[in-house]
Amino acid sequence: MIDIWERTLDWKPSPQQQELFQRLYELIIEGNRQLNLTRITEPEDFWEKHLWDSLRGVKFLISQQNREDKEINLIDLGTGAGFPGIPVAIAVKNCTVNLVDSTKKKINFIDSILPELDLNNVFATTCRAEEIGRESQHRETYDIALIRAVASASACAEYTLPLLKQQGLAVIYRGNLTEEEITNMENAVEQLGAVIESIEQFNTPISNSDRHCLYLRKVASTPAKFPRGVGVPAQRPL
């Protein structure tokens, strides 16, 4: 897959990074025997839908890491089995990653594999997105927040933006994206103290599946009432 990495991300993993991606795959397959971690288990599917997809959303980080030494504090909400956060932590050297999920069994699994991957820049937290965004040690402390399609785009904005510092960036991973969702997003991000910086549409390199990434730039402090209570952002999106 080296040629595809280079062609699509202008980057190629080192031999050590390739070994870590392979070990991550093996650990996920092993963990899948006890836990329902992912339905994506074929090697090529795993590479495209978990590894490549995770890193395509932060292509800008991968390309600039050799030019900037600044430490990046990153949070991954609804991480599941560790995506996109673990591949990002492997690929981007100057980052610290907090992997957050509400399912304790998944966080326990992640805690068990981090030593196997020797990822000292990663830790895991069991918490709901609505709750961690209200905790003082997390609110407005992160440079980048990642979230894969766990809810509507505007709900994802409400989960991520309270966690970001001003000028921080939320990266929302989506499959399809409708004009209605974009319109709703514009209203939501204004209330949350952000702007839509860009929306990227692209296709995965093997199956040619449709993908979007929304990039939201935090430009003002998020009002204290956000995020709303557990379940509310998903049931009543802004």
Q: What is the 3-state secondary structure (H, E, C) of the chain?
A: CHHHHHHHHCCCCCHHHHHHHHHHHHHHHHHCCCCCCCCCCCHHHHHHHHHHHHHHCCHHHHHHCCCCCCCEEEEEECCCCCCCHHHHHHHCCCEEEEEEECCHHHHHHHHHHHHHHCCCCEEEEECCHHHHCCCCCCCCCEEEEEEECCCCHHHHHHHHHHHEEEEEEEEEEECCCCHHHHHHHHHHHHHHCEEEEEEEEEECCCCCCEEEEEEEEECCCCCCCCCCCCCHHHHCCC
Quote the pLDDT of residue 139.
98
Architecture of domain 2-235: 3-Layer(aba) Sandwich (3.40)
Pairing of strands 122-126, 142-148: unpaired
Which pLDDT tens digit goes with each residue over 104-158? Answer: 999 999 999 999 999 999 999 999 999 999 999 999 999 999 999 778 999 999 9
Mean pLDDT over residues 9-20, rounded?
95
Q: Is the pLDDT of residue 66 over 60?
A: no
- What value does the mean pLDDT of the chain take? 94
User: What local confidence, expressed as pLDDT, does residue 151 receive?
Assistant: 84
Q: Tell whether the model's pLDDT for residue 238 goes beyond 70.
A: yes
d(CA 50, CA 213): 15
pLDDT at residue 125, as a whole number: 98
What is the rounded end-to-end Cα distance, in angstroms, of the chain? 40
From 146, 137, 143, 9, select the one nearest 68 (Cα to Cα). Answer: 143
pLDDT exceeding 90 applies to what percent of the chain?
Answer: 87
- The whole-angstrom separation of Cα 141 and Cα 165 is 5
Mean pLDDT of 18-42: 94
Q: Is the pTM of this model over 0.85?
A: yes
pLDDT in tens, 164-175: 999 999 999 999
pLDDT of residue 120: 93
Q: Any idea which residue has 């304790």 for tokens?
A: 104
Each domain of the chain, given as residue ranges in start order, spans: 2-235
pLDDT bin (cut points 50, 70, 90) of residue 1 is confident
- Peptide bond connecting 227 to the previous residue in cis, omega within 30 degrees of 0: yes
The pLDDT, as a whole number, for residue 119 is 95
60 is written with which tokens?
A: 């800008």
pLDDT at residue number 150: 73
**Is residue 68 very low, low, confident or very high in pLDDT (cuts 50, 70, 90)?**
low
CB 172 within 8 A of CB 157: yes
Query: What integer pLDDT is reported at residue 75 of this predicted model?
Result: 98
- Residue 70 predicted with pLDDT over 90: no
